[in-house]
Amino acid sequence: MLPTGEDLEMTIGLEAEALARPGTGAAASGALREPLPMPALEYTDEVARETAPLYERVKTVIPAIEWPVMAPYIKAINDLKKTRNAVILAHNYQAPEIYHCVADIKGDSLQLAVAATKTDADVIVQCGVHFMAETAKVLNPDKTVLIPDRRAGCSLAASITGADVRLLRERYPGVPVVTYVNTSADVKAESDICCTSSNAVEVVESLGSDRVIMLPDQYLAKWTASQTDVKIIAWNGACEVHERFTGEELREYREANPGIQIVAHPECPPDVLAEADFTGSTAKMTSWVEKNRPAKVLLVTECSMASNVAADNPDIDFIRPCNLCPHMKRITLPRILDSLLTMGEEVTIDPMVAGNARRAVERMVNLKS
Ligand code: 13P
Ligand code: SF4
């Protein structure tokens, strides 16, 4: 069945797709690859001493009683990164013990994609979801990219397939396809250019077309359409975390907290964004809070991000409706440790698909620079 309709019309998913696709893989890196034994995970005086500066960073968001359980994992992971010549990338939605205590590079999807092109490490451990690990692999075909749990998916990435994009191209010949990075490598490979929530308007306007197809997030597409004169043809995907927020809920928070500032992610539905004082990607939300320093703020996005920003800004009061991303939460300290010990789960992508996806991602990254 072909999608029908015009600007901002919602098309429907044509087939479901599993996120992880086995591929032929890329050349093994020179990193030490054999499995390593499990280190002792005791909270000794040495572990307490070595991890004390890290606890200082998170003490306002992690109860002291939990630290003796986390600290041995944190020390073991930080030691193993050196052994494996590995770098840990962590999305802004990771839990504070990952984000503040083991990550080397942190940020939104765009920042992680750009950072992935610059690392000298042999091994990249992606503490985000599967599409982010695929993006890292697409940009680093000769490096080993690991994801601590390959079941860490995304409702947006699962909403569309490469075959769907081919059918859309038949339905709208000559209309360029802009694909949100929250998609599989297969979908990226069928696209003209990728975008993130940080650069969606810039990417859409860069194409010199009066109409673009923008996939797969209907709400990001609607928000982008509200910021540009370019007509947008949208898909009907949605983020299962952001679509749960409602405008009514935000009005209640505002009433109960006079003077509160509301900062929202563009994956939220329009009635939610209508209540927001600022809308932007996770990185832009953070920099807005740090620049404007409101006394009280509500971040309308995944719950852990407020903890991460709160740890760096203890003077700001964060009001939290706690919507967790179940996929991001599959990444835990024990799974990261296991990943570094066993060199699993390695992300592999068919080289032809990876090459085409790379073209779309690099076009976006080069636009940025
Ligand atoms: P950002 O690019 O803003 O980090 O968003 C990624 C994401 O998955 C939001 O749900
Ligand atoms: Fe996907 Fe939403 Fe989770 Fe982001 S928060 S990874 S868009 S399901």
Q: H-helix or E-strand containing 270? A: helix 270-273
Q: Which ligand is the nearest neighbour of the Cα of 303?
A: 2
Give me ligand 1 centre to Cα 1, in Å: 30
Q: What is the pLDDT of residue 109?
A: 87
Residues of the chain above pLDDT 70, percent? 91
Scan for tokens 């009066």, then name that residue. Answer: 210
Index of the ligand 2 atom closest to the CA of residue 325: 3
pLDDT tier, 168 (very low <50, low <70, confident <90, very high otherwise)? very high
Rounded Cα–Cα distance for residues 288 and 48 (Å): 35
pLDDT at 33: 84
**How crowded is residue 344: how many other Cβ atoms within 10 Å of its Cβ?**
15
pLDDT band at residue 321, thresholds of 50, 70 and 90? confident
Residue from 325, 329, 330 to probe ligand 2 pocket by mutation (most atoms less than 8 Å from CB): 325
The phi and psi torsions of 199 (rounded to 5 degrees) equal -130, 15
Taking residues 211-231, what's their average pLDDT? 98
**1 has pLDDT over 70:** no
Which tens digits make up the pLDDT trace of 323-335?
999 999 999 999 9
pTM: 0.90
Q: What pLDDT sits at residue 113?
A: 82
Contact between residue 108 and residue 91 where contact means Cβ atoms under 8 Å apart: yes
User: At which residue do the structure tokens 């697409």 appear?
Assistant: 138
Q: Contact, 125 vs 160, CB < 8 A?
A: no
pLDDT band at residue 32, thresholds of 50, 70 and 90? confident
Closest-approaching ligand to the CA atom of 266: 1
With 50 as the cut, is the pLDDT of residue 235 above it? yes
Which residue has a Cα nearest atom 3 of ligand 2?
325
User: Where in the chain does DSSP place strands (E)?
Assistant: 10-11, 86-91, 105-107, 123-127, 144-146, 177-180, 193-195, 211-215, 231-235, 261-264, 278-279, 296-300, 317-319
CB distance 157 to 182 below 8 Å:
yes
Least confident piece of the model among 20-24, 146-150, 235-239, 298-302: 20-24
Angstrom distance (rounded) from CA 32 to CA 35: 9
Mutate which of 94, 99, 105, 108 for ligand 1? The one with the most ligand atoms within 8 Å of its CB, which is 108
How far apart (Å, rounded) are the C-alpha atoms in residues 349 and 249? 42
For residue 226, the CA-to-ligand 1 centroid distance in Å is 19
- In this prediction, residue 226 carries a pLDDT of 97
Pocket of ligand 2, beta carbon within 6 A: 129, 154-156, 182, 239-241, 267, 302, 325, 327-328
CA distance 184 to 325: 18
Ligand 2 centre from 35 Cα, in Å?
31
Question: Does the pLDDT at position 3 exceed 70?
Answer: no
Query: Counting every residue, how long is the chain?
Result: 369
Among the residue ranges 14-23, 96-105, 263-272, the one predicted with the least confidence is 14-23
Cβ within 8 Å of residue 259, ≥6 positions away: 294, 295, 296
CA 132 – ligand 1 centroid, Å: 10
Confidence of residue 110 (pLDDT cuts 50, 70, 90): confident
Helix (H) / strand (E) containing 220: helix 218-225
> How far is 361 from 180, CA to CA, in rounded Å?
10
User: Number of helices and strands (H, E) in the chain?
Assistant: 15, 13
Give burial (CB, 10 Å; 0-12/13-18/19+) of 42: exposed
Cα of 282 vs centre of ligand 2, distance in Å, is: 12
Residue nearest to atom 8 of ligand 1 (CA): 182
pLDDT tier at 213, thresholds 50, 70, 90: very high
CA 128 – ligand 1 centroid, Å:
10
Task: Compute, in angstroms, the gap from residue 155 CA to the centroid of ligand 2.
Answer: 6
Distance from the Cα of residue 65 to its chain's centroid: 30
